[in-house]
Amino acid sequence: MAGRRIGGAGGGSDKGPRRAGAVLVGAVLAVGAAHSGGLVSAGSGVTARAADAKKAAKSDKGNAWSRLGMRVGKTVKRSGADCAAAAFGDIRTFFLRTPCRSLDRKLYPLTLDNGAVVAVSVVWVGFRTRGQAEDFRALHRIHGNGDIRPPAPGVTFTGHHYDSRVQGTSVVIAETEAVSGAVDRDLLTTVAEVAVLFPEP
């Protein structure tokens, strides 16, 4: 696990207006908001299922979510190779100096048992060398210095529920945020720890 990030308060993602679920969750958010109940925490059986979910995440993303007892809605996907255009802050500056070779972004809306909705952003950034990947991950872990924007508007990621890893010459980044309803912080971190294991598209 690599919790983001070192430093003080401040978000890892864009500080634009938070339009809850405008594009991201659609009907899923509407259902979740209408049926949201009490707080769902990592202690509500999720932690016990996390190990199975992490194993499933390496090959079958849908099964990973079901292992956590969550339902996934329509996924938003974007691919390209212009990382600087998709980033801001010091992260964008890094890409201007060290261009990436690939960028894949996915945004998953998850509905929990209590009807709450969690947004999950997973980003795969490919570089020419492992050294570049490690340098990027080290920079990205510093809180508040910029980020890569998710593939759709509607959610502001704070960077407080985060994990990342280097896979060969690529970096995988997972961030989570509660969109509606009551969600425990530890649960958001657990979801990020599962999502970061997803294989590169």
Q: Mean pLDDT lowest for which of 8-17, 51-60, 84-93, 122-131?
A: 8-17
Q: Mean pLDDT lowest for which of 24-28, 50-54, 93-97, 173-177?
A: 24-28
155 within domain boundaries? yes
81 within domain boundaries? yes
pLDDT exceeds 90 at position 82: yes
Residue of higher predicted confidence among 200 and 41: 200
2 within domain boundaries? no
User: Can you tell me the distance from the alpha carbon of 143 to that of 145, in angstroms, rounded to the nearest whole number?
Assistant: 6
Residue keyed to tokens 């985060």: 162
143 within domain boundaries? yes
173 within domain boundaries? yes
Q: 121 and 150 in contact (C-beta within 8 Å)?
A: yes
Question: Other C-beta atoms within 10 Å of 168: how many?
Answer: 11
Q: Report how many domains make up the chain.
A: 1
Residue of higher predicted confidence among 45 and 155: 155
Of all residues in the chain, the percent with pLDDT exceeding 90 is 51
16 within domain boundaries? no
Residue keyed to tokens 């969600």: 183
142 within domain boundaries? yes
Q: 13 and 150 in contact (C-beta within 8 Å)?
A: yes
Read off the amino acid at residue 199. P
Strand 117-126, strand 102-111: pairing = antiparallel
Q: Which domain holds residue 89?
A: 27-195
Residue of higher predicted confidence among 8 and 51: 51
- Give 106's contacts (C-beta < 8 A, 6+ positions apart): 75, 76, 77, 78, 121, 122, 123, 151, 201
Name the maximum alpha-carbon separation found in the chain: 48
Residue keyed to tokens 């048992």: 113
pLDDT exceeds 70 at position 15: no
20 within domain boundaries? no
**Token digits of residue 150:** 């998710």
Q: Mean pLDDT lowest for which of 34-43, 62-71, 105-114?
A: 34-43
pLDDT at 201: 85
Half-sphere exposure of 133 (CA within 13 A, CB side): 20
- The torsion angles phi and psi of 23, rounded to 5 degrees, stand at -110, -35
Kindly list the distances between the CA atom of residue 95 and the CA atoms of 111, 129, 157, 176, in Å, as whole numbers in the listed order: 34, 14, 20, 23
